[in-house]
Structure 1
Amino acid sequence: MLNKQIRLARDISGFPRESDFYLVEEGLPELMDGQALCRAKYLSLDPYMRSQIAGKHLQGAVAVDDVMRGETISEVVASKEPALPVGSLVRCMGDWQTYSIQQAQSVQPVPAGVPAHFALNVLGMPGLTAYAALIWLARIQPGELVVIPGAAGAIGSIAGQLAKKRGCTVIGIAGCNMKCDLAVSQLGYDACINRRQENVASRLSELAPNGVDVYFDLVGGDMLHTISQQLALHARIVLCGLSSELHLPHRSPGPPSALWIKARATVMGLVVYDFETRRQEFIEQCLPAIRAGDFYLPVDLSYGLEQAPAAFCRMLAGNTIGKTLIKV
């Protein structure tokens, strides 16, 4: 069998293009004892992959000619590991390729009773990130005002619904009217600010006259400064993403600390891998509501591994809604 792979063609400066990646086919190595051959069904595309290309991610770098890394839902198609029988569905780092070789300790089972790709979405990294940020770190309370940029993205679309279900007033920020409309009509946001057409600071002062209690920062850059100027007393900020800075050669210096001191704010950094040991706890808390259909889960779905570079570029340009997936 031949294994299709998408590899990095060159070092990237600025926004990536489809031509920055290339497709190869190569043979598969012989399966060893304790290993299973897994065929990808779904591939997750995420902003952190841009940081890997730039060599700035905690999980390491992707160099030129390396296979692009990423989580997959894969089916075991051959096995020399009793714990991974043929036909099993697993979540694993299968990367941007058709087949991967896995061991039992490197995979996780896919929850039953929901579509398999939910393990890459609401029950995967985006869901765990949103839950850890709002429930475990910020400890949101009913009546608080929560602001979430990237409101219609993979994490923001889940975070907004979580906050609303906890009785919060939730204000989103997005890059176009379509995303703002979806945030309010489908995701439960009380309001959503179009950052490209509205003055975020002025609009936020109208929507949050008493200040922001919780800011879940998924974008970094100037937006963090803007929100930090309108914090309520004892506000909490969870720093998680840097989507506005992924294509820049240098990181933003951030807002003056005086803004946080004035608000007596608590500022926390979130790395989702720190919560991996609590993933099952998170799944058990959320699975009943997900099975009941209580979450609206937009997905940008493309078909075929060859579409991964184009979908990745669209996502980083802000031209996707919800979770970006490839049906391999």
Structure 2
Amino acid sequence: MQSNRQIILESTPRGIPTPENFSLRNAPMPEAGDDEVLCRTRYLSLDPYMRSQIAGRHPSGVVVPGDVMKGETVSEVVRSNVASFSPGQIVRCMGGWQAYSVHIGGDLNVVADHIDPPSYALSVLGMTGLTAHAGMIWQAGVRAGECVVIPAVTGGVGSVAAQLCAARGARVIGIAGSGEKCRYAVDSLGTAGCIDRHSEDIEARFGELCPDGIDVYFDLVGGPTLRAACRHLAHYGRVVLCGLMAEYNRADRSPGPDPGLLIAKRAVVSGLVVYVYEHRRDEYIWECLPLLAQGKLHQREDLTVGLENAPAAFHRLMSGQNFGKVIVKV
């Protein structure tokens, strides 16, 4: 009898999650009831916000020991009791860390043929890309000639943000975790420079690479890097707060930047929650398809094969070892 493989949270991690915090469970195969659709997971997106779900601090939900890990997937319809969906269709849904999932029709979104490969619905043409575009284009309004600083620049969101800003004529400075990643940022993402956070003094390099100050800082990490960037803001600089990668694995929160400094800089600080822009997802996709076709936008995917390997891939993501958007091919 066929079963449904699931990854559950075995124990709450202290610090960076390890594979030992998760376990593989064989559950009964779910069945589609009236007005429901049974889907088989093809690709699973792994994202830093999942660590915040485990800590009980994320608006999208909480995961406690014994729960199946939550997550967005690209899935294939296996059986449908909804007239608008047919077996074989590829859909995007919150399938979670499991091989099969059941949904009502309203929770499924068809992955269009022009999204190719289908995993792009989870990366450059999915929530990752939408986050980058919403933060830099719609919220910060990045303009040509501005100095834009993006930490975690070779990650899923950061890499798309860098390319979108460069395509608009901005001067992009990235921050990454190795010399190899910094070379990739300059050679492939269009950044004018990149700071190796492990071997260089970030604040000193801000002074060298951004002599007139930082016009836009896309905060994906929080912590000391955010405070350093705020000290180097240009007058009327904009800060978009989006992620807390430097703090997700901590039980407490580090202090934020000095409000007096932000006042003196006449800075605009705004928070970004990508779900607010979900209704504009198609607008974003159609805006970016030409950039993909022209080679001005691309996504490096850090692909792991096998659901059983998702915990190890998540550990690499949360310890900064990933290179690109982390996807599991189930």
Q: Same fold (TM over 0.5)?
A: yes
* Residues 186-244 of structure 1, C-alpha deviations (whole Å, 9 max, x = no match): 11111000011111111110111100000000000111110001111110000000000
Larger deviation, residues 150-159 vs 284-293? 284-293
For residues 225 and 291 of structure 2, the distance between their equivalents in structure 1, rounded to whole angstroms, comes to: 32
For residues 289 and 210 of structure 1, the distance between their equivalents in structure 2, rounded to whole angstroms, comes to: 30
Q: Number of residue pairs matched?
A: 328
Match of 1:185 among 184, 187, 202: 187
For residues 258 and 175 of structure 1, the distance between their equivalents in structure 2, rounded to whole angstroms, comes to: 30
- Indicate the residue corresponding to 1:80 in structure 2: 81
For residues 232 and 214 of structure 2, the distance between their equivalents in structure 1, rounded to whole angstroms, comes to: 6
How much identity, in percent, do the aligned residues show?
A: 49
Coordinate RMSD, CA, aligned: 0.9
Q: Give the 3 Å change call, closer, same or farther, for CA 78–291 of structure 1 in structure 2.
A: farther
For residues 272 and 166 of structure 2, the distance between their equivalents in structure 1, rounded to whole angstroms, comes to: 21
* Residues 28-70 of structure 1, C-alpha deviations (whole Å, 9 max, x = no match): 2332121111000000000000000000101121010100000
**1:27 to partner: Cα distance:** 1.2
Structure 2 counterparts to residues 1-328 of structure 1, below 5 A: 1-113=2-114, 114-328=116-330
For residues 218 and 225 of structure 1, the distance between their equivalents in structure 2, rounded to whole angstroms, comes to: 13
Q: Secondary structure at the match of 2:130?
A: helix
Q: State the AA in 1 paired with 2:128.
A: P
**1:19 to partner: Cα distance:** 0.7
**1:277 to partner: Cα distance:** 1.2
Q: Secondary structure at the match of 1:155?
A: helix
For residues 54 and 225 of structure 1, the distance between their equivalents in structure 2, rounded to whole angstroms, comes to: 24
* Residues 148-176 of structure 1, C-alpha deviations (whole Å, 9 max, x = no match): 00010010010000000000000001111
For residues 32 and 265 of structure 1, the distance between their equivalents in structure 2, rounded to whole angstroms, comes to: 53
For residues 103 and 125 of structure 1, the distance between their equivalents in structure 2, rounded to whole angstroms, comes to: 21
| Runs of 4+ residues over 3 Å off in structure 1 | none
Q: State the AA in 2 paired with 1:270.
A: L
Q: State the AA in 1 paired with 2:138.
A: W
Larger deviation, residues 248-257 vs 289-298? 289-298
Structure 1: gaps spanning 5 or more residues: none
Q: Give the 3 Å change call, closer, same or farther, for CA 299–30 of structure 1 in structure 2.
A: closer
For residues 276 and 64 of structure 1, the distance between their equivalents in structure 2, rounded to whole angstroms, comes to: 30
* Residues 252-286 of structure 1, C-alpha deviations (whole Å, 9 max, x = no match): 22011111111100000001111111111111111
Q: State the AA in 1 paired with 2:49.
A: Y
* Residues 49-95 of structure 1, C-alpha deviations (whole Å, 9 max, x = no match): 00000001011210101000000000001111111111110010000
Q: Secondary structure at the match of 2:76?
A: strand
**1:291 to partner: Cα distance:** 3.6
TM-score (norm 2): 0.98
For residues 37 and 299 of structure 1, the distance between their equivalents in structure 2, rounded to whole angstroms, comes to: 27
For residues 209 and 105 of structure 1, the distance between their equivalents in structure 2, rounded to whole angstroms, comes to: 50
Q: Secondary structure at the match of 2:60?
A: coil
Q: State the AA in 2 paired with 1:302.
A: T
For residues 294 and 181 of structure 1, the distance between their equivalents in structure 2, rounded to whole angstroms, comes to: 18
For residues 18 and 135 of structure 1, the distance between their equivalents in structure 2, rounded to whole angstroms, comes to: 37
* Residues 97-131 of structure 1, C-alpha deviations (whole Å, 9 max, x = no match): 00000121101111322210000001111100000
* Residues 276-318 of structure 1, C-alpha deviations (whole Å, 9 max, x = no match): 1111111111122224433231111111100100000011111
For residues 110 and 293 of structure 2, the distance between their equivalents in structure 1, rounded to whole angstroms, comes to: 17
Q: Secondary structure at the match of 2:208?
A: helix
